[in-house]
C-alpha cells in the first residue's frame, strides 16, 4: 500500500488551517461578546473531523 508523510497531505493541511481559523474566530468572538459563536464551534469541529477522517479512514496511509 502507498504511504506518504502526513505533512504532504493536502487534506490534513486544509483541516489544520480550517481549525486554526475557527479557533482564532472563536477567540475573537468570545473576547468581543463574552459568548461562543455556534458557527465558529461548528467550523472548529469540522476541521478536527477532517483531519481525523484523513488520517484514519482513507486508503493511502500516512507515515510519521
Q: What is the pLDDT of residues 21-34, one digit of tens each?
A: 888 888 887 777 77
Instruction: State which residues form the domain around 56.
Output: 3-63
64 has pLDDT over 70: no
Q: Are 19 and 54 in contact (CB under 8 A)?
A: no
Count how many domains the chain has.
1
Query: What is the arithmetic mean of pLDDT over 51-63?
Result: 75
pTM above 0.85, yes or no: no
pLDDT at 62: 64
Amino acid at each position: 500500500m502507498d504511504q506518504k508523510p502526513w505533512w504532504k497531505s493536502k487534506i490534513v493541511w486544509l483541516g489544520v488551517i480550517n481549525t486554526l481559523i475557527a479557533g482564532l474566530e472563536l477567540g475573537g468572538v468570545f473576547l468581543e461578546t463574552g459568548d461562543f459563536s455556534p458557527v465558529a464551534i461548528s467550523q472548529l469541529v469540522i476541521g478536527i473531523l477532517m483531519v481525523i477522517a484523513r488520517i484514519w479512514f482513507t486508503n493511502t496511509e500516512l507515515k510519521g
